[in-house]
Amino acid sequence: MSETFDLILKNGTVVNHDGQGQRDIGVRDGRIVAIGSLGSADAGEIVDCTGLHVLPGVVDSQVHFREPGLEHKEDLETGSRAAVLGGVTAVFEMPNTNPLTTSEEALADKVKRATHRMHCDFAFWVGGTRENADIVGELERLPGAAGIKMFMGSSTGSLLVEDDEGVAAVLRNTRRRAAFHSEDEYRLRERAGLHVEGDPSSHPVWRDEVAAMMCTERLVRIAHETRARIHVLHISTAEEIGFLQQHKDVATCEATPHHLTLTADDYERLGTLIQMNPPVRAPRHRDGIWHGVGQGVIDVLGSDHAPHTLEEKAKPYPASPSGMTGVQTLVPIMLDHVNAGKLTLERFVDLSSHGPNRIFAMARKGRIAAGYDADFTIVDMKRRETISNGQAGSKAGWTPYDGKEVTGWPVGTVVRGRRVMWEGEIVTPGTGEPVLFSEALPA
């Protein structure tokens, strides 16, 4: 009698820890249960993946979905719609909402809002502050918590912790890896007069590479002193790559597609649409980050999806807010880089799936292996498409890559054995659930 599955992905080129090879995948009860030749097996649903690559579900560990408090820009449903349209199966969302995600109650509220409403699975970063420093060890173990996130620059209110002692007070109490926005707030204040009204190209002059490097050096020193593990978000300078290469004992780091794709030369064409913190910088920094990818210094990719309305972005610099959309374009932009020879498909999988599994200790996610959640990003590596604003699932409705032609495209998103997106259409209602982490498993 033939074996029976809920879902079989047939004839695809599977990319996992074994490399690349044509294999079938059998799924039962939302988990992977068989990998190999399943030609004689039956299933409730069989998806022919001939000519397609089946990747472990892509994880975007840095997004801002703006709910609660800023739903005119984005909300959990629309942000997750953009995610699965782009092949992303899980996201870690940031704490700078209103109210801030700095308490057990605020985290529980987000988890409740997201469960079975978001289209992908999710976790929420909890903001580390002076006020909650003594309880971050409890907060980071709550259901749905991705860990502790701190802003050493570029934030307001209690989320900004710019001083060494404030950072150390939080890190002394963390047990999981804490994530950081690393720009030196003191230097940013000193240089605030260097931004030029109406000229977004002055953004990286004000928020210069020294501000990023100074803060990352301070952060690594504090991590050593407190014996804590840290994760440096959105690396934007070549100098940080060389420095962090020497400190992999305590520090992991992230690169974004925009810092790998855009440079300061693009301000003339795109203006405030590419105004980000930390900024898009001179080409040598983009090249330095690519060196970090090639040398294995960069551990993960994150989009830093941070939407604003076009009306808000149209305000004259510096009144214009920093942030751009990115969760939906992470996969196609990076697959285009794969096809251009900038990295291998296996390295992309390491950055987008295996890396998050490894450094954040995700339970049952980030690998195509028996016993893991059946999360898959199915891509056509030969497909040419032009990215456009009209494709946007985000409420913001725009992308800085509007009009960019890419080769390599996500055609299917499978979350825990359910086909959520296929050929640009949402085909299953939201069934998102909290990501589990091995360092914070429920009792």
Task: Dump the DSSP string for 195-206.
Answer: SBTTBGGGHHHH
Which helix (H) or strand (E) is 348 found in, with range?
A: helix 345-349
Report the amino acid identity of residue 363. Answer: A
Distance of alpha carbon 339 from alpha carbon 144, whole angstroms: 35
pLDDT 10s digit of each residue in the chain, 443 long? 579 999 999 999 999 999 999 999 999 999 999 999 998 899 999 999 999 999 999 999 999 999 999 999 999 999 999 999 999 999 999 999 999 999 999 999 999 999 999 999 999 999 999 999 999 999 999 999 999 999 999 887 889 999 999 999 999 999 999 999 999 999 999 999 999 999 999 999 999 999 999 999 999 999 999 999 999 999 999 999 999 999 999 999 999 999 999 999 999 999 999 999 999 999 999 999 999 999 999 999 999 999 999 999 999 999 999 999 999 999 999 999 999 999 999 999 999 999 999 999 999 999 999 999 999 999 999 999 999 999 999 999 999 999 999 999 999 999 999 999 999 999 999 999 999 999 999 87
- The residue type found at 30 is G
Decide: helix, strand or coil at residue 417: coil
What pLDDT shows up at residue 110? 98
Please, are residues 216 and 240 in contact by the beta-carbon 8 Å criterion?
Answer: yes
Is residue 312 packed enough to be buried (19+ CB in 10 Å), middle (13-18) or exposed (0-12)? middle
How many residues are recorded in the chain? 443
First to last CA, the chain: 39
Catalytic residue selected from 24, 304, 336, 373: 304
What are the residue ranges of CATH 3.20.20.140 in the chain?
A: 58-360
Pair type for strands 42-48 and 121-127: unpaired
Residue 229, beta-bridge partner list: none
Q: Is the peptide bond before 68 cis (omega within 30 degrees of 0)?
A: yes
Enter the DSSP assignment of 353: I
Nearest to 385 by CA among 329, 324, 302, 301: 329
DSSP 8-state code for residue 149: E
Domain with CATH 2.30.40.10 in the chain: 4-54+370-383+405-428
Of 2.30.40.10, 3.40.50.800, 3.20.20.140, 3.40.640.10, which CATH number belongs to 4-54+370-383+405-428?
A: 2.30.40.10
CA–CA distance, 329 with 258 (Å, rounded to integer): 10
30-59 core/surface letters (b: 16 or more CB in 10 A; e: else): bbbbbbeebeebebeebbebeebbbbbbbb
How far apart CA 288 and CA 282 sit, in angstroms, is 10
pLDDT of residue 1: 54
What pTM did the predictor assign?
A: 0.98
Displacement of CA 221 from its chain's centroid (Å)? 25
**3-class DSSP state for residue 107?**
helix
- What topology does CATH give the domain 58-360? TIM Barrel (3.20.20)
Catalytic residue list contains 304: yes
Are the C-beta atoms of 137 and 174 separated by less than 8 Å? yes
